[in-house]
Amino acid sequence: MNHKNLKSFPDGFLWGASTSAYQVEGANLEDGKGPSCQDVKEVPENTSDLTVCADQYHRYKEDIALMAEMGFKVYRFSIAWTRILPNGTGEVNPKGIEYYNNVIDECLKYGIEPLVTMFHFDMPAALDARGSWSNPESSDWFANFAKVLFENFGDRVKYWLTINEQNMLTLVGPVIGTLVLPEGTTNVLKEIYQQNHHQLVAQAKAMKLCHEMLPNAKIGPAPNISLVYPASCKPEDIIASQNFNALRNWLYLDMAVYGIYNAIVWSYLEENDATPVFQPGDAEILKEGTCDIIGFNYYNTSTVEAFDIQTAVETEESLRDQQSGQAIPGFARSVRNENLPKTEFGWEIDPVGFRATSREIYSRYHKPMIVTENGLGAYDTLTEDGKIHDEYRINYLRNHINQMNLSITDGSEFLGYCPWSAVDLISTHEGMRKRYGFIYVDRSDFDLGTLNRYRKDSFYWYKKVIGSNGKDLD
Ligand code: BGP
């Protein structure tokens, strides 16, 4: 649909950006913090460990002041479960509460709304030792953590996100360093979807509790949602795209919004003897704990073709990452979309797909949306005079904001936009060299440098965007 006039971004639109605790904070075992799965995992070859990251734990004031300088209205950050509860359950660590109180207060000092992710890829190591998400008690561990957060921060935090990219934890857990398989697991798919089920129940318990304890707050999930295109108009490819859309996207949003399992996914799980076991009360809690808002991360679309079980001589299952697809015999197989360029790190770039994805989410669910991640991972260069000329990032963001504006004009309801990332930080599996921030951090994978902050060209550009409420994108 072409529009003659674009609607404006709504008043009070929440412009900001995102980070996550384990990728930005550092100080990973300081002031009583317990280890998470990220602190004990083997880091991918040639990438930094997660002990220092961008050192935001010690530099949050400087970082938040820079965000305020850009005009941020919101800062999306995550709370490290093991900073609050070093063993995942049990004793609360007062230093952890103090740290996040400080971060929240610092945001509020500048009129920046804190948008808190409760869980961003950092399961307490002590809970991994107790079976991690395969333990049916895990939903109660999470609900208990949620309660501690609501009690301590609920007076000031109005926007909450439950689990970051649960769909990626399920689809590519090993890449992110999070999957724990109990010894003797024979049906891996069943085990993974059992863990996924426990996370869905955990999320529902947290959402229900939030409504009870903080009736004025808004809570939602933060999956990685991107439309899956059919590789052609062959009907079989359409079916494949519906399959993969269901598995990657709608499973998570059907559950968060309606508290029900997506039918296509359920049938796929039945087919593979992988349906999850429900504990008594699960079906009810899933229906009772639904969301107010939909947070979603968007990087690019994917494209699939039919992958007939007979032609799948052997499974092409290989380790993938968040954006690079899957091959599931009898279900769908990802293919390259030749219409789209790629980033230096091989992710396709599809701003129009952002509009398409958000229209589809809004048409299906009619909930206000907040973009919790979107951005370009690239190699940046710090010049001798302290500049970072990242026009590639500006182009990426400009094109996506433009498409968001078109989607708003199409009738979609957006609350805000938080690209990834506010500050350079460590990537999930590609180290420090894959940068996303508006704020450059002077360090590399194996040299901690000065950790000084520098404003990238995108910093000044985004400041203009925010100052004009999305009108000035030049
Ligand atoms: C999302 C995660 C983030 C993040 C981002 C960029 O999947 O929620 O934690 O890092 O993707 O991905 P990467 O770091 O792999 O480039």
Q: Which of 25, 106, 348, 373 is catalytic?
A: 373
Q: What is the 150 CA–ligand 1 centroid distance (Å)?
A: 26
pLDDT digits (tens, 9 = 90+) for 150-201: 999 999 999 999 999 999 999 998 888 788 899 999 999 999 999 999 999 9
List pLDDT tens digits, range 325-361: 788 888 999 999 999 999 999 999 999 999 999 999 9
Looking at residue 288, its pLDDT comes to 98
Query: What does pLDDT average to over the chain?
Result: 96
- Cα 341 to averaged position of ligand 1 atoms, centre (Å): 19
| pLDDT at site 311 | 61
So what's the pLDDT on residue 328?
A: 86
Q: Looking at residue 192, what is its pLDDT?
A: 97
Quote the pLDDT of residue 177.
78
- Among candidate residues 165, 191, 348, 360, the one labeled active-site is 165
The closest-lying atom of ligand 1 relative to the alpha carbon of residue 299 is 11
Q: Please confirm, yes or no, whether 151 is among the known catalytic residues.
A: no
3-class DSSP assignment, residue 421: coil
Q: Return the residue matching tokens 């075992």.
A: 29
What is the share, in percent, of the chain residues with pLDDT greater than 70? 98
pLDDT one-digit tens code per residue, 61-95: 999 999 999 999 999 999 999 999 999 999 999 99
Distance between Cα 2 and ligand 1 center (Å)? 32
**Beta bridge partners of residue 297, listed in sequence order:** 224, 373
Question: Ligand 1 pocket: which of 299, 373, 435 to mutate (most atoms <8 Å of CB)?
Answer: 373
Predicted pLDDT at 312: 55
Copy the structure tokens of residue 261: 């399992």
Using the mean position of ligand 1's atoms as its centre, give its distance from the Cα of residue 5 in Å: 34
The predicted structure's pLDDT at residue 330: 86
Task: Quote the CA–CA distance of 163 and 294 in Å, as a whole number.
Answer: 12
Write the pLDDT tens digit of every residue in 418-461. Answer: 999 999 999 999 999 999 999 999 999 999 999 999 999 999 99
Q: What share of the chain is helix, strand, coil (3-state, %, to 5)?
A: 40, 15, 45
Instruction: Report the distance separating Cα 206 and Cα 155, nearest Å.
Output: 17
pTM equals 0.97
Query: Residue 374 carries which DSSP code?
Result: -
Q: What is the pLDDT of residues 379-413, one digit of tens each?
A: 999 999 999 999 999 999 999 999 999 999 999 99
Residue 227 CB partners (closer than 8 Å, separation 6+): 245, 249, 301, 353, 356, 357, 360
Length of the chain: 474
- Radius of gyration in angstroms for the set of CA atoms belonging to the chain, rounded to a whole number: 21
Closest ligand 1 atom to 375 CA: 6
Active-site annotation holds for 165: yes
Question: How many angstroms separate the alpha carbon of residue 214 from the centre of ligand 1?
Answer: 30
Distance between Cα 427 and ligand 1 center (Å): 6
Tell how far the Cα of 329 is from the centroid of ligand 1, in angstroms: 27
- Atom of ligand 1 at shortest range from CA of 345: 16
Task: Give the ligand 1 atom nearest the CA of 377.
Answer: 16
**Region 359-369 average pLDDT:** 98
Angstrom distance (rounded) from CA 405 to CA 428: 29
pLDDT at residue 314 tops 70:
no
Closest CA to 294 of 360, 365, 354, 236: 365
CB-CB contact of 328 with 314 (8 Å): no
Mean pLDDT across 105-133: 97
Q: Which atom of ligand 1 is nearest to the CA of 323?
A: 7
Angle between helix 188-213 and 263-271 (nearest 10):
150
Q: Which of 38, 343, 420 to mutate to test the pocket of ligand 1 (most atoms within 8 A of CB)?
A: 420
Give residue ranges with CB within 6 A of ligand 1.
20, 23, 164-165, 168, 224, 297, 322, 373, 377, 420, 427-430, 434
Q: Whose CA is nearest to atom 7 of ligand 1?
A: 322
Q: Whose CA is nearest to atom 9 of ligand 1?
A: 428
**Residue to substitute in 162, 322, 324 for testing ligand 1 pocket (most ligand atoms within 8 angstroms of CB):** 322
Nearest CA to ligand 1 atom 3: 428
- The pLDDT score that the predictor gives to residue 11 is 97
pLDDT tens-digit series, residues 262-286: 999 999 999 999 999 999 999 999 9
Nearest Cα residue to atom 14 of ligand 1: 427
Q: What is the pLDDT of residue 308?
A: 81
Residue 134, token pair as written in the block:
């395969």
